[in-house]
């Protein structure tokens, strides 16, 4: 039997000490600790780890952390939405996004050519410059071959980038496939459409990529899921695990609620009814803002794994 433990601050408290201190407070902090332990266990078990996230997380500063997790060998498969791909490329080419306010005058922002993502602002000019970047990339791809599976295309693009904080760059370097089943749902998709108008034999093969994600694992693999947010990125990874016998480990982090019946709000418990994760899996569902919950949980997990020799110790210091 476990008991509630009072949380107390101490001078110089580390992120891991914070997470550990919260582990017996109650409510979502209990689930956060379960998430930490599930992440540690999946890595120690040699699981193939599927990592999913939505594009708004790449708009935020979590992008560099995601790239670092790939660099550290924590991620084996990535599934995301196309906005995250676009903004990863934008940032790799020097674009900077603005910290604004949730209660901004959106009509005024539109007149100024600024797009709001929560309390983050992205200028129209960023998308205009993205057009100048992606055009030559597509020409290079077309010159190499006419038909591309989506993940192969992103690997090729990742090799053209030179930014250690880029998800595509690190994924290409580490041979981690990046899947994006809804590749046309954004600016990148529009540019694919426009390029294909002039080059009708240029094909981006989404069905082939479904084959790629299915065959990147098997029933024999131990499988782990870390799903941040919901949408198609979450379901695509879960489906790949389902069709390969289900996952042994799963961590879901979201602000959505299970009462909506949505994929975004679906819990790890609900997933067992589908066979998406196994009945005896180590699983946790954390409700809260991923920009807060995920770094706390993952930093604690990394500290445990680094201490036990499961990841390399080459983390650089960061000043706030």
Q: What is the pLDDT of residues 103-132, one digit of tens each?
A: 999 999 999 999 999 999 999 999 999 999
Residue 106 falls inside a structural domain: no
Note the pLDDT tens digit of each residue in 195-234: 999 999 999 999 999 999 999 999 999 999 999 999 899 9
Domain contains 6:
no
Task: Decide if 127 is inside a domain.
Answer: no
Residue 10 covered by a domain: no
CATH number for 26: 3.40.910.10
Tell me the pLDDT of the chain averaged across its residues: 95
> CA-CA distance, 170 to 17, in Å (whole number)?
29
User: Which are the catalytic amino acids?
Assistant: 276
- By the 8 A CB rule, do 294 and 228 touch? yes
* Per-residue pLDDT, 183: 97
Q: How far apart are CA 35 and CA 19, in angstroms?
A: 11
Whole-model pTM: value is: 0.95
Residue 256 lies in a domain: yes
Residue at 109 is within a domain: no
Residue 150: domain span? 15-95+138-186+195-307
Domain count, the chain: 1
Q: Under DSSP, is residue 4 helix (H, G, I), strand (E, B) or coil? A: coil
Whether 284 is in a domain gets the answer yes
Q: Write out the H or E segment, with its range, that includes residue 37.
A: helix 28-44
Does residue 189 carry a pLDDT above 60? yes
Q: Is residue 313 included in any domain, yes or no? A: no
């Amino acid at each position: 039997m476990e008991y509630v433990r009072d949380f107390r601050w101490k001078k110089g408290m580390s992120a891991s000490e914070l997470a550990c201190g919260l582990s017996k407070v109650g409510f979502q902090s209990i689930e956060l600790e379960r998430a930490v332990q599930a992440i540690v266990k999946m890595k120690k078990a040699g699981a193939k780890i599927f990592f999913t996230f939505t594009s708004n997380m790449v708009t935020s500063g979590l992008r560099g952390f995601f790239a670092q997790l790939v660099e550290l060998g924590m991620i084996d498969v990535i599934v995301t939405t196309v906005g995250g791909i676009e903004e990863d490329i934008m940032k790799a080419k020097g674009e900077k996004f603005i910290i604004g306010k949730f209660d901004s005058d959106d009509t005024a922002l539109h007149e100024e050519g600024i797009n709001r993502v929560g309390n983050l602002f992205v200028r129209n000019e960023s998308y205009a410059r993205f057009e100048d970047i992606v055009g030559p990339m597509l020409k290079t791809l077309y010159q190499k071959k006419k038909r591309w599976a989506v993940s192969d295309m992103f690997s090729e693009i990742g090799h053209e980038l030179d930014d250690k904080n880029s998800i595509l760059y690190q994924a290409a370097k580490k041979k981690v496939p990046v899947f994006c089943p809804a590749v046309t749902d954004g600016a990148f998709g529009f540019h694919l459409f426009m390029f294909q108008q002039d080059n009708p034999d240029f094909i981006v093969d989404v069905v082939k990529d479904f084959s790629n994600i299915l065959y990147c694992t098997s029933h024999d693999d131990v499988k782990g899921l870390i799903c941040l947010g919901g949408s198609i990125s979450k379901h695509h990874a879960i489906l790949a695990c389902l069709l390969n016998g289900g996952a042994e480990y799963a961590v879901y982090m979201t602000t959505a609620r299970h009462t909506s019946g949505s994929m975004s709000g679906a819990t790890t418990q609900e997933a067992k009814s589908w066979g998406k994760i196994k009945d005896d899996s180590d699983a946790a569902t954390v409700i809260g803002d991923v920009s807060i919950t995920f770094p706390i949980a993952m930093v604690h997990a990394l500290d445990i794994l680094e201490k036990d020799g499961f990841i390399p110790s080459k983390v650089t210091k960061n000043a706030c």
